[in-house]
Amino acid sequence: MKRALANKNLKHTLILLGLSCVFFVLGNNVLSLTNPDEVFYAQTTREMLQHDSWTTPYLFGAPQFEKPIFLYWLLRISSMIFGTSAFAWRFFPAVFAAAGTIAVYFLATLMFRDNRKGFLCAIILMSSGLYVGLARTVYTDMVFSVFILLALAAFWMGYVNAGRRGLGFLLFFVCAALAVLTKGPLGLILPGLTVVLFLAVRRELRVLLHKGALVGLVVFLLLAVPWYAVMIRSFGRAFTGEFFYNDHIRRILEAEHPQNDTWYFYPLSSLVGMFPWSIFVAASFVSLLARLVRRTLEPAHLFLAFWILVTLVVFQSAHSKLVSYVFPMFPAMAMMTGDSLYRWAAHRSGSAARWLVSGFVATALVLPAGLVVAAARFREYLPPAPWVYGLAALSVSFCVAVIVLAARRKFLECVYVMSPVLIVAFCFGLSSTDIDSRLSSSSACRYLREHDTGRGSVLCSKYFSRGVYYYAERDVAVVDVGGASFFSPHPIPFLDSDEKVRDFLRRQPKTYCVVDESSLRNLRRIVANNMRLDVQEKFGNEYVATVSAD
């Protein structure tokens, strides 16, 4: 029996690893690093290499303290192995995405005592929109969230098996320490609050008195504290003011993105981020609340509920909101959804079956409906006609397959058919000849390298400044008349008034500019009859222009 179970686990693991190569790795070198964040992490790592630094991140030639060190260590290692291609920078986020998928498989299997249900949960996670997106981008969020997942999985292993409790606590604190080195104190706060609240409600806080918890805490301090101590000793208030106040406390008090500062932002964006499982995620929440009211929640469901609740409450209290901030709760959402879907599919009759049919059919229709809308409203962005026709035929076949399977009440088969939908859409998007220039500054900077033989500073819109600095390897200045400066200060000229822009342009006989349409209009108004402005090329939403001072 144990051998059969081990063989099944091995089979599922190998399948998930193979799918991970397709979902997270395939095509990672096609799209250039995007503005403004991927180039931020890549350029920081490149400057660390130039300074031969393993402790201090650099950007624009100066130390920067926006994020801790762990992701930069990973990127340095990746660049030493693969070079500095887009594939190299995106390698470790993809590796961690695969690790997170495998971790959800084993954690869900342990929680629900069913490896088929664990496999379903892993498939739902790895095929959800935001998970695929963050697996393919150079952000801290995937690495951070997987460490949170691993910490909570380690705790659960020790919780349900008293013989492994010491090991569980040790691994919990090791993973929490690495999360703290990836994104900051929340690496301990999120899993720690989840565990404490879960045990408090279960009236089992005595579990925390296990000697393994003390050993784990000591290991946590040994792993997490030294880098922070080195930075505080080296940079003092420059580090503490930027990292602890500006990037943590200030984000609680002020909205970096005011349009996101609403009560419904996280619930709505999380549902969208879980597409194509959004309908089923919402339904599983309703089911969870119903069982909570009836007090029929099992410990595993209660644990998942606190995991999600703690993440939402902690980030909802902050005015600065991005959907990636609540990404640590996505594994819990996937497990909750997979568990519910498996139970509903097992009924195969009654109201559960009827609504499952409706849910799968409605979700299946989204792809062709989206293609129709894109063809009508975004025709100029679409790939060549053969790609469009091919996707149209594929989407029709996909809809027919899902409808037939749902009608025959083969609901788990519907999940497996629907899971590749985002990868198909991703490949479709990459086939557009315009996609790279709309997301990256690589095309505009290629033009600069070919036509600008000088070494003067490039004038950029705020959004493009990091990308131009990375791709052109030139000094940059930002034009943003009447705009707000960067949330975290950058050591580059920020020109927010007409006079500052004129003074900057007069210092160079000819200035190349990479700007958006709004900044271009401002430049036309500012230079007026005193200077000459010529638009050379347009790449996506970036205009390459020259301003001559004579």
Going by pLDDT thresholds of 50, 70 and 90, the confidence category of residue 428 is low
Q: Tell me: do 125 and 193 sit in the same domain.
A: yes
pLDDT of residue 382: 66
What phi and psi values does residue 489 have, to the nearest 5 degrees?
-55, 140
pLDDT of residue 409: 83
Percent of the chain with pLDDT over 90: 69
What does the buried/exposed string (b/e) look like for 261-271 if buried means 16 or more CB atoms within 10 Å of the residue's CB? Answer: eeeebbeebbb
Token pair, residue 187, equals 């690496």
pLDDT of residue 375: 66
Distance from C-alpha of 80 to C-alpha of 361, rounded to nearest angstrom: 47
Q: Is the pLDDT of residue 353 over 80?
A: no
Residue range 85-99: average pLDDT? 96
Q: Tell me: do 395 and 527 sit in the same domain.
A: no
The answer to whether residue 424 is domain-embedded is yes
Q: Tell me: do 243 and 98 sit in the same domain.
A: yes
The answer to whether residue 49 is domain-embedded is no
Measured N-to-C along each axis, helices 411-418 and 385-407 cross at an angle, to the nearest 10 degrees, of 170
What does pLDDT average to over the chain?
A: 90
Name the one residue in this structure whose structure tokens are 């500019």: 513
Residue range 191-198: average pLDDT? 97
CA angle 96, 101, 102 (to 5 degrees): 95
Q: Tell me: do 306 and 416 sit in the same domain.
A: no
Q: What is the pLDDT of residues 474-491, one digit of tens each?
A: 999 999 998 888 888 899
Q: Tell me: do 387 and 408 sit in the same domain.
A: yes
pLDDT of residue 429: 67
Distance from C-alpha of 309 to C-alpha of 296, rounded to nearest angstrom: 18
Q: Is the pLDDT of residue 58 over 90?
A: yes
The answer to whether residue 60 is domain-embedded is no
The answer to whether residue 37 is domain-embedded is no
The answer to whether residue 219 is domain-embedded is yes
Name the one residue in this structure whose structure tokens are 């350029």: 43
pLDDT of residue 448: 93
Q: How far is CA 309 from CA 172, 194, 195, 249, 312, in A?
A: 19, 8, 12, 21, 5
Q: Tell me: do 428 and 394 sit in the same domain.
A: yes
β strands within 42-164, DSSP E: 58-59, 62-63
Residue range 281-308: average pLDDT? 89
Q: Which of 416, 437, 458 is the last residue of a domain?
A: 437
Residue range 441-468: average pLDDT? 92
CA angle 448, 451, 453 (to 5 degrees): 95
**CA-based nearest residue to 328, from 92, 34, 125:** 125
Q: Tell me: do 276 and 223 sit in the same domain.
A: yes
Going by pLDDT thresholds of 50, 70 and 90, the confidence category of residue 432 is low
**Contact between 146 and 74 (Cβ < 8 Å):** no
Measured N-to-C along each axis, helices 86-112 and 330-347 cross at an angle, to the nearest 10 degrees, of 50
Q: What is the pLDDT of residues 250-265, one digit of tens each?
A: 898 888 888 999 989 9
What is the domain range of residue 130? 2-30+65-347
The answer to whether residue 294 is domain-embedded is yes
Q: Max alpha carbon distance in the chain (Å)?
A: 85
Number of domains in the chain: 3
Going by pLDDT thresholds of 50, 70 and 90, the confidence category of residue 168 is very high
Q: How far is CA 36 from CA 185, 375, 464, in A?
A: 24, 28, 7
Q: What is the DSSP string of 240-292?
A: HIIIIIIIIIHHHHS-SSGGG-STTHHHHHHHHHTTTSHHHHHHHHHHHHHHH
Q: Tell me: do 429 and 394 sit in the same domain.
A: yes
Token pair, residue 196, equals 């404490």
The answer to whether residue 47 is domain-embedded is no
pLDDT of residue 193: 97
Higher pLDDT: 351 or 332? It is 332
Name the one residue in this structure whose structure tokens are 């879960």: 198
Q: Tell me: do 97 and 132 sit in the same domain.
A: yes
Q: Tell me: do 448 and 430 sit in the same domain.
A: no
Q: Which of 437, 456, 485 is the last residue of a domain?
A: 437
The answer to whether residue 363 is domain-embedded is no
Q: What is the CATH number of the domain that holds 540?
A: 3.30.110
**Contact between 277 and 416 (Cβ < 8 Å):** no
Could you give the dihedral angle defined by the CA atoms of residues 469, 474, 477 and 483, in that order, rounded to the nearest 10 degrees?
-20
Distance from C-alpha of 339 to C-alpha of 122, rounded to nearest angstrom: 11
pLDDT of residue 306: 96
Count Cα atoms within 13 angstroms, Cβ side, for 348: 7
Distance from C-alpha of 282 to C-alpha of 143, rounded to nearest angstrom: 26
Q: What is the pLDDT of residues 511-541, one digit of tens each?
A: 999 999 999 999 999 988 788 999 999 998 9
Task: Indicate the helix (H) or strand (E) that contains 538.
Answer: strand 532-539
pLDDT of residue 380: 63
Q: What is the CB neighbour count within 10 angstroms for residue 358?
A: 12
**CA-based nearest residue to 213, from 264, 159, 253:** 159
Q: Which of 402, 437, 472 is the last residue of a domain?
A: 437
**CA-based nearest residue to 261, from 183, 195, 352, 322:** 322
Give me the count of residues in the chain: 550
Q: Tell me: do 383 and 462 sit in the same domain.
A: no
Q: Tell me: do 430 and 448 sit in the same domain.
A: no
Q: Is the pLDDT of residue 296 over 90?
A: no
Q: Is the pLDDT of residue 215 over 80?
A: yes
